[in-house]
Structure 1
Amino acid sequence: MTLAANWLRKPAMATAILLCIMYGAGVLRYEGFDDTQIVLNIFIDNGFLLVVAVGMTFVILTGGIDLSVGAVVALTTMIAASLLEKGLNPALVLVVVLAVGGLIGLGMGCIIHFFDIQPFIATLAGMFLARGTCYVISTDSIPITNEWWNNVASAKLRFGGFHISWSVVIAAVVVAAAAYVLAYTRLGRNIYALGGNQQSALLMGLPVGRTRITVYTISGVCSALGGVLLTFYTPPATGSTPWAWSSTRSRRSSSAAPCSPEAPASCSAPSSASGCSASSRPSSRSRAPSAPGGPRSSSACCCSSSSCCSGR
Protein backbone atom coordinates (compact mmCIF):
# COMPACT_ATOMS: atom_id res chain seq x y z
CA MET A 1 0.00 0.00 0.00
CA THR A 2 2.84 2.35 0.85
CA LEU A 3 4.62 1.50 -2.42
CA ALA A 4 1.48 2.29 -4.42
CA ALA A 5 1.09 5.60 -2.60
CA ASN A 6 4.69 6.50 -3.38
CA TRP A 7 4.17 5.76 -7.07
CA LEU A 8 1.07 7.96 -7.13
CA ARG A 9 3.11 10.84 -5.71
CA LYS A 10 5.53 10.74 -8.62
CA PRO A 11 4.86 13.57 -11.16
CA ALA A 12 5.22 11.23 -14.13
CA MET A 13 2.65 8.82 -12.74
CA ALA A 14 0.21 11.64 -11.95
CA THR A 15 0.65 12.98 -15.49
CA ALA A 16 0.00 9.52 -16.97
CA ILE A 17 -3.19 9.15 -14.93
CA LEU A 18 -4.46 12.57 -16.03
CA LEU A 19 -3.63 11.72 -19.66
CA CYS A 20 -5.62 8.47 -19.42
CA ILE A 21 -8.58 10.33 -17.92
CA MET A 22 -8.49 12.96 -20.67
CA TYR A 23 -8.19 10.31 -23.38
CA GLY A 24 -11.11 8.35 -21.91
CA ALA A 25 -13.24 11.49 -21.86
CA GLY A 26 -12.35 12.14 -25.50
CA VAL A 27 -13.30 8.59 -26.51
CA LEU A 28 -16.67 8.93 -24.78
CA ARG A 29 -17.34 12.41 -26.12
CA TYR A 30 -16.15 12.22 -29.75
CA GLU A 31 -16.86 9.50 -32.28
CA GLY A 32 -13.70 8.00 -33.78
CA PHE A 33 -11.41 9.47 -31.10
CA ASP A 34 -10.13 5.99 -30.25
CA ASP A 35 -8.57 5.65 -33.72
CA THR A 36 -4.77 5.46 -33.42
CA GLN A 37 -4.25 7.92 -36.25
CA ILE A 38 -6.42 10.47 -34.46
CA VAL A 39 -4.09 10.29 -31.46
CA LEU A 40 -1.08 10.64 -33.75
CA ASN A 41 -2.74 13.62 -35.43
CA ILE A 42 -2.82 15.38 -32.06
CA PHE A 43 0.96 15.10 -31.87
CA ILE A 44 1.32 16.13 -35.53
CA ASP A 45 -0.75 19.26 -34.91
CA ASN A 46 1.04 20.18 -31.67
CA GLY A 47 4.65 19.05 -32.18
CA PHE A 48 5.95 22.62 -32.07
CA LEU A 49 4.06 23.27 -28.83
CA LEU A 50 5.72 20.26 -27.21
CA VAL A 51 9.15 21.68 -27.95
CA VAL A 52 8.20 25.12 -26.60
CA ALA A 53 6.73 23.48 -23.49
CA VAL A 54 10.02 21.68 -22.83
CA GLY A 55 11.89 24.98 -22.63
CA MET A 56 9.18 26.46 -20.41
CA THR A 57 9.45 23.43 -18.13
CA PHE A 58 13.11 24.20 -17.43
CA VAL A 59 12.23 27.81 -16.58
CA ILE A 60 9.28 26.93 -14.33
CA LEU A 61 11.33 24.37 -12.40
CA THR A 62 13.66 27.18 -11.32
CA GLY A 63 10.72 29.25 -10.08
CA GLY A 64 10.77 31.64 -13.04
CA ILE A 65 8.55 32.42 -16.02
CA ASP A 66 9.18 33.19 -19.68
CA LEU A 67 6.57 35.34 -21.41
CA SER A 68 8.59 35.72 -24.61
CA VAL A 69 8.20 32.21 -26.03
CA GLY A 70 5.30 33.05 -28.37
CA ALA A 71 7.00 36.17 -29.72
CA VAL A 72 10.27 34.26 -30.23
CA VAL A 73 8.37 31.58 -32.16
CA ALA A 74 6.91 34.29 -34.42
CA LEU A 75 10.31 35.97 -34.84
CA THR A 76 12.03 32.76 -35.91
CA THR A 77 9.35 32.06 -38.53
CA MET A 78 9.89 35.55 -39.97
CA ILE A 79 13.67 35.21 -39.93
CA ALA A 80 13.52 31.77 -41.57
CA ALA A 81 11.11 32.97 -44.27
CA SER A 82 13.13 36.11 -45.04
CA LEU A 83 16.47 34.26 -45.23
CA LEU A 84 15.05 31.50 -47.39
CA GLU A 85 13.54 34.13 -49.68
CA LYS A 86 17.05 35.54 -50.16
CA GLY A 87 18.30 32.10 -51.23
CA LEU A 88 20.34 31.10 -48.18
CA ASN A 89 21.09 27.45 -47.55
CA PRO A 90 18.39 25.86 -45.34
CA ALA A 91 21.00 24.36 -43.01
CA LEU A 92 22.49 27.81 -42.43
CA VAL A 93 19.01 29.22 -41.85
CA LEU A 94 18.37 26.61 -39.15
CA VAL A 95 21.63 27.53 -37.40
CA VAL A 96 20.84 31.24 -37.58
CA VAL A 97 17.31 30.97 -36.16
CA LEU A 98 18.42 28.68 -33.32
CA ALA A 99 21.26 31.06 -32.51
CA VAL A 100 18.87 34.04 -32.46
CA GLY A 101 16.55 32.24 -30.06
CA GLY A 102 19.47 31.26 -27.84
CA LEU A 103 20.83 34.82 -27.79
CA ILE A 104 17.45 36.25 -26.78
CA GLY A 105 17.20 33.73 -23.95
CA LEU A 106 20.80 34.39 -22.93
CA GLY A 107 20.16 38.13 -22.79
CA MET A 108 17.06 37.74 -20.65
CA GLY A 109 18.86 35.35 -18.31
CA CYS A 110 21.75 37.78 -17.85
CA ILE A 111 19.36 40.66 -17.14
CA ILE A 112 17.47 38.57 -14.59
CA HIS A 113 20.63 37.44 -12.79
CA PHE A 114 23.04 40.38 -12.94
CA PHE A 115 20.48 43.19 -12.57
CA ASP A 116 18.16 41.27 -10.22
CA ILE A 117 15.14 41.97 -12.44
CA GLN A 118 12.03 39.91 -11.93
CA PRO A 119 11.62 37.27 -14.67
CA PHE A 120 8.12 38.56 -15.43
CA ILE A 121 9.46 42.02 -16.30
CA ALA A 122 12.57 40.86 -18.16
CA THR A 123 10.76 38.32 -20.32
CA LEU A 124 7.93 40.78 -20.98
CA ALA A 125 10.55 43.15 -22.41
CA GLY A 126 11.97 40.26 -24.45
CA MET A 127 8.50 39.56 -25.80
CA PHE A 128 8.07 43.14 -27.02
CA LEU A 129 11.59 43.09 -28.48
CA ALA A 130 10.92 39.93 -30.50
CA ARG A 131 7.49 41.15 -31.58
CA GLY A 132 8.82 44.52 -32.70
CA THR A 133 11.66 42.86 -34.61
CA CYS A 134 9.06 40.96 -36.64
CA TYR A 135 7.67 44.28 -37.89
CA VAL A 136 11.18 45.50 -38.65
CA ILE A 137 11.79 42.48 -40.87
CA SER A 138 8.56 42.89 -42.81
CA THR A 139 4.97 44.00 -42.41
CA ASP A 140 3.85 41.81 -45.31
CA SER A 141 3.60 38.06 -45.71
CA ILE A 142 6.82 36.33 -46.80
CA PRO A 143 6.35 33.13 -48.84
CA ILE A 144 8.56 30.09 -48.27
CA THR A 145 9.27 28.47 -51.64
CA ASN A 146 12.45 26.56 -50.78
CA GLU A 147 12.14 23.05 -52.20
CA TRP A 148 14.01 21.28 -49.38
CA TRP A 149 11.96 23.08 -46.72
CA ASN A 150 8.67 22.16 -48.36
CA ASN A 151 9.79 18.55 -48.90
CA VAL A 152 10.57 18.16 -45.20
CA ALA A 153 7.27 19.83 -44.30
CA SER A 154 5.23 17.49 -46.49
CA ALA A 155 7.18 14.29 -45.68
CA LYS A 156 5.29 11.54 -43.85
CA LEU A 157 6.90 8.69 -41.92
CA ARG A 158 4.66 5.66 -42.39
CA PHE A 159 4.48 2.57 -40.19
CA GLY A 160 1.81 -0.11 -39.82
CA GLY A 161 -0.80 1.82 -41.79
CA PHE A 162 -0.26 5.03 -39.79
CA HIS A 163 1.88 8.09 -40.36
CA ILE A 164 3.57 10.92 -38.48
CA SER A 165 5.56 13.97 -39.52
CA TRP A 166 9.16 14.92 -38.81
CA SER A 167 7.89 17.43 -36.28
CA VAL A 168 6.67 14.58 -34.08
CA VAL A 169 10.05 12.84 -34.27
CA ILE A 170 11.95 16.01 -33.41
CA ALA A 171 9.57 16.79 -30.54
CA ALA A 172 9.97 13.27 -29.14
CA VAL A 173 13.77 13.55 -29.26
CA VAL A 174 13.66 16.92 -27.48
CA VAL A 175 11.35 15.57 -24.76
CA ALA A 176 13.55 12.50 -24.23
CA ALA A 177 16.71 14.62 -24.07
CA ALA A 178 15.10 17.03 -21.58
CA ALA A 179 13.94 14.17 -19.36
CA TYR A 180 17.45 12.72 -19.32
CA VAL A 181 19.06 16.08 -18.52
CA LEU A 182 16.67 16.76 -15.65
CA ALA A 183 16.94 13.29 -14.14
CA TYR A 184 20.55 12.22 -14.64
CA THR A 185 22.80 15.27 -15.05
CA ARG A 186 24.33 17.84 -12.72
CA LEU A 187 22.47 20.62 -14.50
CA GLY A 188 19.17 18.90 -13.78
CA ARG A 189 19.95 18.57 -10.08
CA ASN A 190 21.00 22.22 -9.94
CA ILE A 191 17.72 23.24 -11.59
CA TYR A 192 15.66 21.38 -8.99
CA ALA A 193 17.79 22.80 -6.16
CA LEU A 194 17.41 26.35 -7.49
CA GLY A 195 13.66 25.94 -7.80
CA GLY A 196 13.39 24.51 -4.29
CA ASN A 197 15.23 27.28 -2.46
CA GLN A 198 17.63 29.74 -4.03
CA GLN A 199 19.29 30.73 -0.75
CA SER A 200 19.94 27.10 0.15
CA ALA A 201 21.40 26.51 -3.30
CA LEU A 202 23.75 29.46 -2.80
CA LEU A 203 24.83 28.21 0.64
CA MET A 204 25.56 24.78 -0.87
CA GLY A 205 27.88 26.44 -3.39
CA LEU A 206 25.79 25.63 -6.45
CA PRO A 207 26.25 27.82 -9.57
CA VAL A 208 22.93 29.63 -9.23
CA GLY A 209 23.68 32.37 -11.75
CA ARG A 210 25.06 30.05 -14.38
CA THR A 211 22.14 27.66 -13.96
CA ARG A 212 19.53 30.42 -14.30
CA ILE A 213 21.17 31.86 -17.41
CA THR A 214 21.48 28.38 -18.93
CA VAL A 215 17.80 27.69 -18.30
CA TYR A 216 16.61 30.83 -20.10
CA THR A 217 19.00 30.11 -22.97
CA ILE A 218 17.51 26.62 -23.30
CA SER A 219 14.04 28.15 -23.33
CA GLY A 220 15.06 30.51 -26.13
CA VAL A 221 16.53 27.69 -28.21
CA CYS A 222 13.41 25.56 -27.71
CA SER A 223 11.20 28.50 -28.75
CA ALA A 224 13.29 28.98 -31.89
CA LEU A 225 13.08 25.28 -32.70
CA GLY A 226 9.34 25.43 -32.11
CA GLY A 227 9.16 28.24 -34.66
CA VAL A 228 10.98 26.08 -37.20
CA LEU A 229 8.55 23.22 -36.58
CA LEU A 230 5.65 25.65 -36.91
CA THR A 231 6.80 26.46 -40.46
CA PHE A 232 6.76 22.71 -41.14
CA TYR A 233 3.16 22.40 -39.94
CA THR A 234 0.49 21.71 -42.59
CA PRO A 235 2.51 21.64 -45.84
CA PRO A 236 1.17 23.15 -49.08
CA ALA A 237 -1.27 21.16 -51.17
CA THR A 238 0.88 21.40 -54.30
CA GLY A 239 4.57 21.77 -54.91
CA SER A 240 4.03 25.16 -56.56
CA THR A 241 2.14 26.62 -53.59
CA PRO A 242 4.38 28.74 -51.34
CA TRP A 243 4.08 29.30 -47.64
CA ALA A 244 3.64 32.86 -46.45
CA TRP A 245 4.35 34.19 -42.99
CA SER A 246 3.17 37.58 -41.76
CA SER A 247 4.65 39.71 -38.99
CA THR A 248 1.17 40.67 -37.82
CA ARG A 249 0.46 37.07 -36.92
CA SER A 250 2.21 33.76 -37.61
CA ARG A 251 -0.19 32.66 -40.31
CA ARG A 252 -0.30 31.87 -43.99
CA SER A 253 -1.51 34.56 -46.37
CA SER A 254 -5.08 34.48 -47.68
CA SER A 255 -4.88 36.36 -50.95
CA ALA A 256 -6.75 33.73 -52.95
CA ALA A 257 -10.51 33.77 -53.32
CA PRO A 258 -12.38 31.60 -50.80
CA CYS A 259 -13.47 28.16 -51.87
CA SER A 260 -17.15 27.50 -52.26
CA PRO A 261 -18.66 24.79 -50.02
CA GLU A 262 -20.80 23.64 -52.95
CA ALA A 263 -17.73 22.97 -55.12
CA PRO A 264 -17.34 19.68 -56.96
CA ALA A 265 -15.06 16.93 -55.68
CA SER A 266 -12.35 17.62 -58.23
CA CYS A 267 -10.99 20.59 -60.07
CA SER A 268 -8.44 21.60 -62.62
CA ALA A 269 -4.88 22.75 -61.97
CA PRO A 270 -4.54 25.82 -59.75
CA SER A 271 -4.42 29.07 -61.67
CA SER A 272 -1.16 30.97 -61.48
CA ALA A 273 -3.12 34.21 -61.55
CA SER A 274 -5.13 33.55 -58.42
CA GLY A 275 -2.65 31.34 -56.56
CA CYS A 276 -3.94 28.94 -53.97
CA SER A 277 -2.97 30.18 -50.53
CA ALA A 278 -2.25 27.71 -47.79
CA SER A 279 -4.78 29.46 -45.54
CA SER A 280 -7.63 28.65 -47.93
CA ARG A 281 -7.33 24.99 -47.01
CA PRO A 282 -9.26 23.78 -43.98
CA SER A 283 -7.08 23.40 -40.92
CA SER A 284 -6.86 20.07 -39.18
CA ARG A 285 -7.61 21.95 -35.97
CA SER A 286 -11.06 22.98 -37.24
CA ARG A 287 -12.11 19.57 -38.52
CA ALA A 288 -13.86 16.97 -36.44
CA PRO A 289 -11.99 13.67 -36.04
CA SER A 290 -12.47 11.37 -38.99
CA ALA A 291 -13.97 7.95 -38.70
CA PRO A 292 -11.64 5.08 -37.84
CA GLY A 293 -9.73 3.98 -40.90
CA GLY A 294 -11.14 6.77 -43.02
CA PRO A 295 -9.07 9.27 -45.01
CA ARG A 296 -8.07 12.48 -43.29
CA SER A 297 -8.11 15.22 -45.88
CA SER A 298 -5.68 18.07 -45.33
CA SER A 299 -5.48 19.82 -48.67
CA ALA A 300 -7.55 21.85 -51.08
CA CYS A 301 -7.05 23.57 -54.41
CA CYS A 302 -8.31 26.85 -55.77
CA CYS A 303 -8.93 27.50 -59.45
CA SER A 304 -9.29 30.65 -61.49
CA SER A 305 -13.08 30.42 -61.23
CA SER A 306 -12.73 30.90 -57.42
CA SER A 307 -15.48 28.32 -56.87
CA CYS A 308 -13.65 25.09 -57.54
CA CYS A 309 -12.37 23.41 -54.41
CA SER A 310 -11.71 19.93 -53.10
CA GLY A 311 -10.61 18.47 -49.83
CA ARG A 312 -13.48 19.75 -47.66
Structure 2
Amino acid sequence: MKAFKGFNADLTCRGFQYEEGKTYEHDGNVALCSGGFHAVLLPLDVVNYYKPKDSVYHEVELEDVAPSRDGDSKVAARKITVGAKIGIPGLVKAHVEAVWASVKKPSEKVTATTGDYAHAATTGDYAHAATTGDSAHAATTGDSAHAATTGDYANAATTGDYAHAATTGDYAHAATTGRYAHAATTGRYAHAATTGDSAHAATTGRSAHAATTGRYANAATTGYSAHVRSSVKDEGSIAAVLGHGAAAGALGCWIVLTERDDNLNILDVQAFKVDGKKVKANTFYQLVGGKLEVAS
Protein backbone atom coordinates (compact mmCIF):
# COMPACT_ATOMS: atom_id res chain seq x y z
CA MET A 1 0.00 0.00 0.00
CA LYS A 2 1.38 3.39 -1.00
CA ALA A 3 1.46 5.98 1.79
CA PHE A 4 3.32 9.07 3.00
CA LYS A 5 5.36 9.58 6.14
CA GLY A 6 6.93 12.52 7.93
CA PHE A 7 10.32 12.44 9.67
CA ASN A 8 12.58 14.77 11.55
CA ALA A 9 15.19 16.46 9.34
CA ASP A 10 17.70 13.67 10.14
CA LEU A 11 15.21 11.00 8.99
CA THR A 12 14.33 9.88 12.50
CA CYS A 13 10.85 9.32 13.91
CA ARG A 14 10.30 8.88 17.65
CA GLY A 15 13.98 8.07 18.13
CA PHE A 16 14.13 5.42 15.38
CA GLN A 17 16.65 6.03 12.59
CA TYR A 18 15.43 5.34 9.04
CA GLU A 19 17.29 5.22 5.74
CA GLU A 20 15.90 5.84 2.27
CA GLY A 21 15.50 2.61 0.31
CA LYS A 22 15.54 0.39 3.42
CA THR A 23 12.74 -1.93 4.60
CA TYR A 24 11.85 -2.34 8.29
CA GLU A 25 9.58 -4.84 10.06
CA HIS A 26 7.87 -4.55 13.44
CA ASP A 27 7.83 -7.68 15.63
CA GLY A 28 5.11 -6.78 18.13
CA ASN A 29 1.46 -5.77 18.01
CA VAL A 30 0.39 -3.47 15.17
CA ALA A 31 -2.16 -0.82 16.17
CA LEU A 32 -2.55 2.94 15.83
CA CYS A 33 -0.56 4.93 18.38
CA SER A 34 0.69 1.80 20.14
CA GLY A 35 2.70 -0.37 17.75
CA GLY A 36 3.99 -0.60 14.19
CA PHE A 37 5.11 1.94 11.60
CA HIS A 38 2.76 4.88 11.12
CA ALA A 39 2.03 6.80 7.92
CA VAL A 40 -0.90 8.52 6.17
CA LEU A 41 -2.78 7.55 3.02
CA LEU A 42 -3.81 11.11 2.08
CA PRO A 43 -0.56 13.04 1.47
CA LEU A 44 -1.36 16.36 3.14
CA ASP A 45 -2.50 14.66 6.35
CA VAL A 46 1.21 14.20 7.06
CA VAL A 47 1.59 17.85 8.08
CA ASN A 48 -0.80 17.20 10.97
CA TYR A 49 2.06 15.29 12.60
CA TYR A 50 5.25 16.81 11.16
CA LYS A 51 5.34 20.55 10.52
CA PRO A 52 7.04 21.71 7.29
CA LYS A 53 9.63 23.90 9.00
CA ASP A 54 11.56 21.10 10.74
CA SER A 55 10.54 17.99 8.80
CA VAL A 56 11.07 15.95 5.65
CA TYR A 57 8.49 13.81 3.88
CA HIS A 58 8.87 10.55 1.97
CA GLU A 59 6.70 8.21 -0.01
CA VAL A 60 6.57 4.82 1.70
CA GLU A 61 5.27 1.35 0.92
CA LEU A 62 3.34 -0.42 3.70
CA GLU A 63 2.57 -4.08 4.23
CA ASP A 64 0.22 -5.78 6.73
CA VAL A 65 -1.73 -2.60 7.52
CA ALA A 66 -4.00 -2.43 10.59
CA PRO A 67 -7.65 -1.85 9.54
CA SER A 68 -8.52 0.78 12.16
CA ARG A 69 -8.28 4.54 11.56
CA ASP A 70 -7.58 7.48 13.87
CA GLY A 71 -9.71 10.35 12.57
CA ASP A 72 -7.73 11.22 9.43
CA SER A 73 -5.99 8.80 7.05
CA LYS A 74 -3.31 7.71 9.53
CA VAL A 75 -2.62 3.96 9.57
CA ALA A 76 -0.21 1.54 11.24
CA ALA A 77 1.66 -1.25 9.45
CA ARG A 78 3.94 -4.15 10.29
CA LYS A 79 6.38 -3.49 7.44
CA ILE A 80 7.52 -0.23 5.83
CA THR A 81 9.85 0.58 2.94
CA VAL A 82 11.10 4.17 2.81
CA GLY A 83 10.87 5.58 -0.70
CA ALA A 84 11.89 8.85 -2.32
CA LYS A 85 11.77 12.21 -0.58
CA ILE A 86 8.83 14.39 -1.59
CA GLY A 87 8.48 18.13 -1.03
CA ILE A 88 5.41 20.21 -0.26
CA PRO A 89 4.54 20.79 -3.95
CA GLY A 90 4.81 17.04 -4.52
CA LEU A 91 2.54 16.37 -1.54
CA VAL A 92 -0.05 18.79 -2.89
CA LYS A 93 -0.04 17.24 -6.35
CA ALA A 94 -0.32 13.73 -4.91
CA HIS A 95 -3.13 14.85 -2.63
CA VAL A 96 -5.19 16.27 -5.48
CA GLU A 97 -4.91 12.92 -7.25
CA ALA A 98 -5.74 10.95 -4.10
CA VAL A 99 -8.84 13.00 -3.23
CA TRP A 100 -10.15 12.77 -6.76
CA ALA A 101 -9.64 9.00 -6.83
CA SER A 102 -11.42 8.58 -3.48
CA VAL A 103 -14.73 9.94 -4.73
CA LYS A 104 -14.73 7.78 -7.85
CA LYS A 105 -14.72 4.44 -6.00
CA PRO A 106 -17.87 2.34 -6.51
CA SER A 107 -20.35 1.87 -3.65
CA GLU A 108 -23.25 -0.45 -2.90
CA LYS A 109 -25.34 2.58 -1.87
CA VAL A 110 -25.46 4.97 -4.81
CA THR A 111 -28.08 7.40 -6.06
CA ALA A 112 -27.23 8.36 -9.64
CA THR A 113 -28.72 10.55 -12.37
CA THR A 114 -27.63 11.00 -16.00
CA GLY A 115 -30.00 13.69 -17.35
CA ASP A 116 -29.45 17.46 -17.44
CA TYR A 117 -30.94 19.44 -14.53
CA ALA A 118 -31.36 16.19 -12.59
CA HIS A 119 -30.47 16.12 -8.88
CA ALA A 120 -29.32 13.32 -6.60
CA ALA A 121 -29.46 13.41 -2.81
CA THR A 122 -28.79 10.96 0.00
CA THR A 123 -29.14 11.22 3.79
CA GLY A 124 -27.73 7.90 5.04
CA ASP A 125 -24.18 7.12 6.12
CA TYR A 126 -21.91 5.59 3.43
CA ALA A 127 -24.46 6.47 0.73
CA HIS A 128 -23.21 8.17 -2.43
CA ALA A 129 -24.86 10.59 -4.85
CA ALA A 130 -23.68 11.11 -8.43
CA THR A 131 -24.88 13.06 -11.47
CA THR A 132 -23.56 13.31 -15.04
CA GLY A 133 -25.88 15.94 -16.59
CA ASP A 134 -25.31 19.70 -16.87
CA SER A 135 -26.71 21.88 -14.08
CA ALA A 136 -27.36 18.75 -12.02
CA HIS A 137 -26.59 18.74 -8.31
CA ALA A 138 -25.51 16.01 -5.92
CA ALA A 139 -25.76 16.25 -2.16
CA THR A 140 -25.23 13.97 0.82
CA THR A 141 -25.75 14.51 4.56
CA GLY A 142 -24.50 11.20 6.01
CA ASP A 143 -21.01 10.43 7.30
CA SER A 144 -18.63 8.84 4.78
CA ALA A 145 -21.12 9.59 2.00
CA HIS A 146 -19.71 11.04 -1.23
CA ALA A 147 -21.18 13.39 -3.84
CA ALA A 148 -19.87 13.71 -7.39
CA THR A 149 -20.92 15.56 -10.57
CA THR A 150 -19.50 15.62 -14.10
CA GLY A 151 -21.70 18.19 -15.88
CA ASP A 152 -21.18 21.95 -16.29
CA TYR A 153 -22.82 24.20 -13.67
CA ALA A 154 -23.35 21.11 -11.52
CA ASN A 155 -22.59 21.32 -7.81
CA ALA A 156 -21.65 18.71 -5.25
CA ALA A 157 -22.01 19.17 -1.50
CA THR A 158 -21.58 17.02 1.60
CA THR A 159 -22.22 17.75 5.29
CA GLY A 160 -21.11 14.53 6.99
CA ASP A 161 -17.69 13.67 8.40
CA TYR A 162 -15.33 11.79 6.02
CA ALA A 163 -17.67 12.64 3.12
CA HIS A 164 -16.08 13.90 -0.10
CA ALA A 165 -17.44 16.16 -2.84
CA ALA A 166 -16.06 16.31 -6.39
CA THR A 167 -16.98 18.04 -9.66
CA THR A 168 -15.49 17.83 -13.16
CA GLY A 169 -17.60 20.36 -15.11
CA ASP A 170 -16.97 24.06 -15.74
CA TYR A 171 -18.55 26.48 -13.23
CA ALA A 172 -19.25 23.50 -10.96
CA HIS A 173 -18.58 23.84 -7.24
CA ALA A 174 -17.71 21.32 -4.56
CA ALA A 175 -18.22 22.01 -0.87
CA THR A 176 -17.92 20.06 2.36
CA THR A 177 -18.68 21.00 5.97
CA GLY A 178 -17.74 17.82 7.83
CA ARG A 179 -14.42 16.95 9.45
CA TYR A 180 -11.93 15.02 7.30
CA ALA A 181 -14.19 15.70 4.30
CA HIS A 182 -12.51 16.75 1.06
CA ALA A 183 -13.67 18.85 -1.89
CA ALA A 184 -12.16 18.66 -5.38
CA THR A 185 -12.94 20.33 -8.72
CA THR A 186 -11.35 20.01 -12.16
CA GLY A 187 -13.45 22.35 -14.31
CA ARG A 188 -12.81 25.99 -15.23
CA TYR A 189 -14.19 28.62 -12.84
CA ALA A 190 -15.08 25.81 -10.43
CA HIS A 191 -14.59 26.36 -6.71
CA ALA A 192 -13.83 23.99 -3.86
CA ALA A 193 -14.45 24.87 -0.23
CA THR A 194 -14.24 23.09 3.11
CA THR A 195 -15.10 24.21 6.64
CA GLY A 196 -14.37 21.12 8.73
CA ASP A 197 -11.14 20.30 10.57
CA SER A 198 -8.59 18.27 8.58
CA ALA A 199 -10.69 18.77 5.44
CA HIS A 200 -8.87 19.60 2.20
CA ALA A 201 -9.94 21.58 -0.87
CA ALA A 202 -8.34 21.12 -4.29
CA THR A 203 -8.96 22.57 -7.76
CA THR A 204 -7.25 21.94 -11.10
CA GLY A 205 -9.26 24.14 -13.50
CA ARG A 206 -8.55 27.61 -14.88
CA SER A 207 -9.66 30.50 -12.66
CA ALA A 208 -10.83 28.04 -10.01
CA HIS A 209 -10.59 28.87 -6.32
CA ALA A 210 -10.00 26.71 -3.26
CA ALA A 211 -10.62 27.75 0.35
CA THR A 212 -10.51 26.13 3.77
CA THR A 213 -11.50 27.35 7.23
CA GLY A 214 -10.96 24.27 9.41
CA ARG A 215 -7.87 23.48 11.47
CA TYR A 216 -5.22 21.32 9.75
CA ALA A 217 -7.11 21.82 6.49
CA ASN A 218 -5.18 22.43 3.27
CA ALA A 219 -6.12 24.09 -0.02
CA ALA A 220 -4.46 23.59 -3.40
CA THR A 221 -4.95 24.78 -6.98
CA THR A 222 -3.20 23.77 -10.20
CA GLY A 223 -5.11 25.89 -12.72
CA TYR A 224 -4.27 29.14 -14.50
CA SER A 225 -5.25 32.37 -12.69
CA ALA A 226 -6.51 30.31 -9.77
CA HIS A 227 -6.58 31.62 -6.21
CA VAL A 228 -6.27 29.66 -2.99
CA ARG A 229 -6.76 30.76 0.60
CA SER A 230 -6.33 29.10 3.99
CA SER A 231 -8.09 30.94 6.82
CA VAL A 232 -6.58 28.77 9.53
CA LYS A 233 -4.14 30.17 12.10
CA ASP A 234 -2.09 27.00 12.32
CA GLU A 235 1.30 25.75 11.07
CA GLY A 236 -0.33 22.53 9.89
CA SER A 237 -2.32 24.26 7.14
CA ILE A 238 -1.03 24.90 3.61
CA ALA A 239 -2.37 26.98 0.71
CA ALA A 240 -0.64 25.92 -2.50
CA VAL A 241 -0.77 27.15 -6.09
CA LEU A 242 0.77 24.78 -8.65
CA GLY A 243 -0.43 26.67 -11.73
CA HIS A 244 -0.59 30.39 -12.54
CA GLY A 245 -2.21 32.08 -9.58
CA ALA A 246 -1.89 33.50 -6.09
CA ALA A 247 -2.13 32.20 -2.53
CA ALA A 248 -3.08 33.76 0.79
CA GLY A 249 -3.06 32.39 4.30
CA ALA A 250 -3.84 33.18 7.89
CA LEU A 251 -1.05 33.93 10.35
CA GLY A 252 1.02 30.83 11.04
CA CYS A 253 0.11 28.75 7.98
CA TRP A 254 2.25 28.17 4.87
CA ILE A 255 1.76 29.18 1.25
CA VAL A 256 3.36 27.43 -1.73
CA LEU A 257 3.79 29.46 -4.93
CA THR A 258 4.66 28.35 -8.46
CA GLU A 259 5.99 30.55 -11.26
CA ARG A 260 5.50 29.42 -14.87
CA ASP A 261 6.36 30.86 -18.27
CA ASP A 262 3.85 31.50 -21.08
CA ASN A 263 4.15 27.85 -22.13
CA LEU A 264 3.33 26.74 -18.56
CA ASN A 265 6.84 25.43 -17.96
CA ILE A 266 7.76 25.62 -14.27
CA LEU A 267 10.35 28.30 -13.54
CA ASP A 268 10.34 28.19 -9.75
CA VAL A 269 8.51 26.77 -6.73
CA GLN A 270 8.90 28.29 -3.26
CA ALA A 271 7.24 27.91 0.13
CA PHE A 272 6.73 30.76 2.62
CA LYS A 273 5.43 30.89 6.17
CA VAL A 274 2.85 33.60 6.85
CA ASP A 275 4.79 35.32 9.64
CA GLY A 276 2.99 38.67 9.60
CA LYS A 277 6.21 40.48 8.68
CA LYS A 278 7.70 39.37 5.36
CA VAL A 279 4.48 37.60 4.44
CA LYS A 280 1.32 39.35 5.62
CA ALA A 281 -1.77 37.44 6.71
CA ASN A 282 -4.76 37.22 4.35
CA THR A 283 -2.82 38.87 1.51
CA PHE A 284 -2.55 37.19 -1.88
CA TYR A 285 1.02 36.65 -3.12
CA GLN A 286 2.60 35.38 -6.33
CA LEU A 287 6.11 34.65 -7.63
CA VAL A 288 7.51 37.09 -10.19
CA GLY A 289 11.09 36.60 -11.36
CA GLY A 290 11.68 34.26 -8.45
CA LYS A 291 10.69 36.93 -5.94
CA LEU A 292 7.67 37.17 -3.66
CA GLU A 293 5.24 39.91 -4.70
CA VAL A 294 1.78 40.99 -3.63
CA ALA A 295 -0.64 39.85 -6.33
CA SER A 296 -2.20 42.59 -8.42
TMscore range, shorter length: under 0.3
Greater helix percent: which structure?
1
TM-score by length of 2: 0.24
Which one has more relative contact order, counting CA pairs under 8 Å at least 6 apart?
1
| Higher-Rg member (1/2) | 1
The structure with more strand, counted as a fraction of residues = 2
